[in-house]
Structure 1
Amino acid sequence: MNGKNVLGMIFANIREETLETLTEKRTMGSVPFCSRYRLIDFPLSNMVESSVTKVGVVTNSNFNSLMDHVGTGKPWDLSRKTDGLYLLPPYSINSVTMWGNRIDAIYGNMSFLDHSTQEYVLMSDCYNVMNIDFNKVFDAHEKTGADITVVGVKAKKPVSFSNVLVFDKVEADGRITDASIDPNVDEAFYSTNIILMKKQLLETLVATAHSKNEVSFQRNILLD
């Protein structure tokens, strides 16, 4: 799988409640890191370095500083006539909270998905500070034939987060056979909310969940 066949979607407002005053007037994605960076720089750079040439940044509120930072996407070579960087409109119309309804966020931007020619969608939040080669994720997804690939990390479960998806059983080949939300454990193999799947599958799952008035991407889509 080539990164050019993958559409990137970055969620700029997810988990803002964990940073409290830092996100009162800015998105999670525009929170400074080590003075010279913003949190959105990490997923955005990781995608571009893995040859993803079309990225949509999903916003919700307080996104002026984010717009100022990413601009046209030129620092990431995303200022182009074909594909490039897109700032997607707020999605809080039907959200149960201002930050947490990923299903509404995707459903509200279905036209962006429909008009994209890429076959796959790679979704990421902004709170993961990491360098990751997504080409390895693309290769693993193709090799295993999985419907959905989720990037996980084995570490102490974040105490400030709720609704954390934990992989309770993972086979040697990486297949997840059992998972739960917020189990009572100290150390866990948990989801980073970096998710890869076919665009058509994502559209179908989100449209179905939205029609049922479901609001949890993890509980109503990943666990089901």
Structure 2
Amino acid sequence: MRAIGIILAGGNNHRMRELSQKRAIAAMPVAGSYRSIDFALSNMSNSHVQKVAVLTQYNSRSLNEHLSSSKWWDFGRKQGGLYLFTPTLTMDNNYWYRGTADALYQNLDWLKQSHEPYVVIASGDGIYKMDYGKVLEYHIDKKADITVVCKEMPQGADLSRFGAVKADDNGRIIDFEEKPMATDAHMVSCGIYIIRRRQLIELIEKCAQEDRFDFVRDILIRYKNVKKIYSYKIDSYWNSISSVESYYETNMDFLKPEVRKHFLQDYPDIYSKVQDLPPAKYNAGSNVKNSLVASGCIINGTVENSILFKKVFVGNNCVIKNSIILNDVYLGDNTHIENCIVESRDTIRANSRYVGEDGVKVVIEKNDRYIM
């Protein structure tokens, strides 16, 4: 594919509450064995984009560890490869990334030194499968300046955390509102863009001259009547884990057979860093229904409609329902967890009870790990 890839994975989002205090949103665990960024990286690899840059900033340690080897996504090549860029202090610049456009500007040399004519820009928090090659074909066919991948949302959906898009019958975007409180639009931007590399450099340099820092607000919205910006509709599964509620909903979607088949069985695959862990162990008395249980788990209790990530220990007579248990959690005997997200590396004392009464409850405990 005649394009390079850029994954924007540096932002923080307060809607994730406690979950983003120790990790970047792009490093959030998804579906038992993946991280959020795995989906964008796998789409790049499967679309034959051989040169990909990941722009990281906020709480990037766990994300950098996850991306420490490019071989898992088949980027370990002589040509191309996986690049990690963090904010760099220089004589001319002493800022962190002040926005998405500024993040691109601070790494403009990488764009200028590349030779591919097009750039695929993607967000690190999207859960989807896509062939970017088809989007590029559409982009070229429409003679577009910028192509924005969009998704039709169901009637009544909350669009306040998305960019709301309106397009004419030909697909050209005629209106773009960033995170509107109220709108009559039904289509949202998925945070995936295709643009010619030279034009991106020109637009980013102009933004920097005018002290503008945001790609959506200062390029897409500002130039919507000047540049030919088109929408490309995705009709398969897409979600963004930009809030605790959407993160919970996205993981729970993987308990649906059609979503699980789409991501885990249908070609092409989603790749991730692999850890050498033993398979999950179900001891006598355990009872597991409609759940995803990752490797390294030991189950002694009841698990229903839940997702357990790696190395979770479930004690005797525990009940886990409609919940997400992140990596390396110890649940003491007789614990009851329902409608919750339990933070990674937690130790939940025996006889504890956590129930999300008014929505999803995030459980964080830091107890000494011992048999209780």
Q: CA RMSD in A?
A: 1.9
Give the Cα–Cα distance (whole angstroms) in 1 for the partners of residues 185 and 139 of structure 2. 26
**Does the aligned pair in 2 maintain the 1:60–1:91 contact within 8 Å?**
no
Query: Counterpart of 1:44 in structure 2: which amino acid?
Result: L
Paired residue for 2:43?
Answer: 46
Aligned residue runs from structure 1 range 12-161, under 5 A:
12-90=9-87, 93-94=94-95, 101-155=99-153, 156-159=157-160, 161=161
Give the Cα–Cα distance (whole angstroms) in 2 for the partners of residues 174 and 187 of structure 1. 14
Say which structure, 1 or 2, has more relative contact order (CA 8 Å, 6+ apart).
Answer: 1
Q: Cα offset for 1:80? A: 1.4
**Does the aligned pair in 1 maintain the 2:151–2:187 contact within 8 Å?**
yes
Give the Cα–Cα distance (whole angstroms) in 2 for the partners of residues 27 and 6 of structure 1. 26
The percent of aligned pairs where both chains have the same amino acid is 32
Q: Cα offset for 1:72? A: 2.5
Question: Which structure would you say has the larger Rg?
Answer: 2
Q: Cα offset for 1:178? A: 2.4
The ranges of structure 1 where at least 4 consecutive aligned residues each deviate by more than 6 angstroms after the TM superposition are none
1:6-62 CA-to-partner distances (Å, cap 9, x unmatched) read 110001123533212212121111111122000000011011101100000001132
Label 1:22 to 1:35 Cα distance change in 2 as closer, same or farther (>3 A): same
SS of the residue corresponding to residue 147 of structure 2 reads strand
SS of the residue corresponding to residue 32 of structure 2 reads coil
1:102-142 CA-to-partner distances (Å, cap 9, x unmatched) read 01100110111111111111101112111112121011001
Label 1:103 to 1:153 Cα distance change in 2 as closer, same or farther (>3 A): same
Which structure has the highest helix share of the two? 1
Query: Counterpart of 2:32 in structure 1: which amino acid?
Result: S
Give the Cα–Cα distance (whole angstroms) in 2 for the partners of residues 123 and 157 of structure 1. 24
Label 1:147 to 1:186 Cα distance change in 2 as closer, same or farther (>3 A): closer
Residue segments in structure 1 that go unaligned for 5+ positions in a row: none
Please give the TM-score of this superposition, normalised by the length of structure 2. Answer: 0.54
Aligned residues: 214
